[in-house]
Structure 1
Amino acid sequence: MPETFFLVAAPGLDETLAAEARAAGFNGVTLVPGGVEVAGGWPEIWRANLMLRTATRVLARVAEFRAMHLAQLDKRARKVDWASVLRPDVPVRVEATCRKSKIYHAKAATQRIERAIAETLGAPIAADAAIVVKARIEDDLCTISLDSSGESLHKRGHKTFTGKAPMRETHAAAILRMLGFDGTQAVVDPMCGSGTFVIEAAEMAAGLLPGRERDFAFQKLAAFDAQAFDKMKTTPQPEAQLRFFGSDRDQGAIQGATANARRAGVADWCRFTRSPVSELTPPDSVAPGIVVINPPWGARIGDRKMLFALYGALGQVLAQRFQGWTIGLVSPDAGLVKATGLTLSATEPAIDLGGTRVTLWRGVPG
């Protein structure tokens, strides 16, 4: 039984992930390089995969020992109780990294650990195996973890339609949290694309668990209890409230976002309409909430020089029609943000979005 596990966060989102984990009732939540360390065994690992919206993946730590050379690594890897965590009938692959250690050859380290698993447990080794054993050797300390998630946790299983430069669900959830969204406010996205912000906000308001319909790697591990895990999936079913709105000038995006919302089970919470930014107005019968926008940056979509007019028009509409709303704008380009004419402050730290360091700009038009 692991005593601690590790939540992997996208760069810039580790503090947001730690706050989410604490709010969800996890214990021993500690910020560490690259993510968040949490106290708990398998049930808490299953729960983290199932319910945390801002985590990229969950690593279960199963062993830790010193290894100064490959022979020592081989000997101590064979003493790990692999049978308590892995099944002999399920293929496994090993990924090793070495840093500041006497063992510096990652491929050789990988081979030694693979051999230890194969010869002590009998589990087959396969390059395409879904079960991944991760070994990190740093300062001669070898930490062995299991990737309990499998596919990245941003893959909720609902978004089969994606537009240009799509926003990952984990990033969208984190940005919403950074804007103060708690499930009670209205959310508007005037450049919604595949609808990620709107759908993620609706799921949060509805109390739907992000991992409710997908599979995880831990379901193929030795300690998995299917009955106990199924009990974790019970969620309330509140009455739908139409508070989440997306618009886009592309009709294909509107159709795709609508279908994504239907698959996610939040179609009655959301409305998507084809509309240019110039026609954007606050939805009827809702109090001022949050406007969140991931506009073109020039580096991904569009010519930067042509985008100044778009940002200017967007800023004018927000200033005139959305007074009292919290505005969140995602962009790596301070010059384009300035062109909105809005008073927006940079939220730190920057966020890694598809390899680009972007900033969440926040403000409230007066």
Structure 2
Amino acid sequence: MEQTNDLEIFLVATPGLEAPLHAEATEQGFADAKVIAGGVVCRGGWPEVWRANLCLRGANKVLVRIGSFPAVHLAQLDKRARKFPWSDFLRPEVPVKVEATSRKSRIYHAGAARQRIERALAETLGTPISTDAALRVLLRIEKDICTFSIDTSGEPLHKRGHKTSVAKAPMRETMAAMFLRECGYHGTEPVLDPMCGSGTFVIEAAEISLGLLPGRTRNFAFESLRSFDPDIWSDMRAGSEPPAPEVQFFGSDRNAGAIEAAKANAEQAGVSTNTTFHCHSISDLKPPQGAEGLVIVNPPYGARIGDEKRLRSLYGSFGKVLMSRFKCWRVGIVTSTPSLAHATRLPLLPAGPVVDHGGTKIRLYRTDRLV
């Protein structure tokens, strides 16, 4: 088993956004960061686990591997689970939820394996087992190797803790942050979203610019682990990234309810003085005063037959407005259909990788500065 100052930390990525998460983890100084299936693996002690939850914008979860052993039948799993040093990690009074998966192993029944771990925890440590517990212990059995991990995040990390109002088909904050990164955004230029919904792109861009840590207002599952040190955590949470020069961020939408939601979310996130939201249609869109920057948008995709023809007209109008009024701005469009992206007639660069957005396959289409 790994020493607690050299844990294997797994940063869960949105499928298709592993590369920008790896770039972010490397930039933030996480040791030995490597892309593997489903995310990024790095190494560090418990404070690095807390820092990953607090600081990384693109991770959906932070899992920590706490040990592994071989087992080829349930009795062997049971015996070894009872000898496992659970008390090094868990507090006996804190309820846990156990989840198990099995692949290419002689222990093929994941439900039976889960029950053995639940019993071992309850009988050796006195741990209450609850399907509603905020703390999850994960068992993965692969090729007869049983590996235990702890989900240190609790609620998924896109739930920043300061977004109360959600519009239809929202973009998750973790995805928005990685798409901004893929567009070359580093916090020093204005960002405009002309179909902003509840304001995710605009608020995320403002937070990056202001150096506000994404996990600053929420709680995490690791706070109930034995390793947790509230003093170190308090110091870490008080820190922030150095802010970029003062920049403004803009959102608009033709839906008045969406604009009210965006304003409420910006207020809650502490970025209302750096964000401006207006209710108007694409045809009324004009570039804000000052420096050029990035237009980024997550327009409707159209799931029903007949939608695409109507949407092609919307995308076409959007492209015309950008080409005529937004010279020297860059553009990022997130959509599920290549023909809709190309309906803008914008000078698109090669499309980004396919990204899984709640079961819908989407991609980022970008431009260089418009001329």
Normalising by structure 1, what TM-score?
0.97
Give the unaligned 5+ runs of structure 1: none
Which residue of 2 is the match for residue 268 of structure 1? 273
- How far is 1:30 from its partner? 1.0
Q: Aligned residue pairs: how many? A: 365
- How far is 1:346 from its partner? 3.6
Which residue of 2 is the match for residue 44 of structure 1? 48
Residues 1:300 and 1:17: Cα distance change in structure 2 (over 3 Å): farther
Q: Kindly provide the amino acid, as one letter, of the partner of residue 276 in structure 1.
A: S
Distance 1:158 1:140 in 2: 42
Which residue of 2 is the match for residue 63 of structure 1? 67
Q: Kindly provide the amino acid, as one letter, of the partner of residue 85 in structure 2.
A: D
Which residue of 2 is the match for residue 252 of structure 1? 257
Which residue of 2 is the match for residue 173 of structure 1? 177
Contact 1:240 1:268 in 2 (8 A): no
Matches within 5 A, 1:124-273: 124-233=128-237, 234-235=239-240, 238=243, 241-273=246-278
Distance 2:247 2:92 in 1: 49
Residue 20 (structure 1) aligned to one of 14, 20, 24: 24
Which residue of 2 is the match for residue 327 of structure 1? 331
Which residue of 2 is the match for residue 78 of structure 1? 82
Which residue of 1 is the match for residue 58 of structure 2? 54
- How far is 1:304 from its partner? 2.1
The answer as to 2:96 corresponding to 1:105 is: no
- How far is 1:174 from its partner? 0.4
- How far is 1:15 from its partner? 1.0
Distance 1:248 1:143 in 2: 47
Distance 1:7 1:307 in 2: 36
Distance 2:276 2:55 in 1: 25
- How far is 1:191 from its partner? 0.3
- How far is 1:113 from its partner? 0.9
Q: Kindly provide the amino acid, as one letter, of the partner of residue 151 in structure 2.
A: D
- How far is 1:177 from its partner? 0.3
Which residue of 1 is the match for residue 314 of structure 2? 310
Q: Output the aligned Cα RMSD.
A: 1.5
Distance 2:208 2:243 in 1: 11
Which residue of 1 is the match for residue 358 of structure 2? 354
Residues 1:155 and 1:112: Cα distance change in structure 2 (over 3 Å): same
Secondary structure of residue in 1 paired with 2:15: coil
- How far is 1:345 from its partner? 2.5
Distance 2:351 2:258 in 1: 29
Distance 1:227 1:62 in 2: 23
Q: Kindly provide the amino acid, as one letter, of the partner of residue 279 in structure 2.
A: R
Secondary structure of residue in 2 paired with 1:126: coil
Residues 1:115 and 1:300: Cα distance change in structure 2 (over 3 Å): farther
Residues 1:218 and 1:328: Cα distance change in structure 2 (over 3 Å): same
Q: Kindly provide the amino acid, as one letter, of the partner of residue 307 in structure 2.
A: D
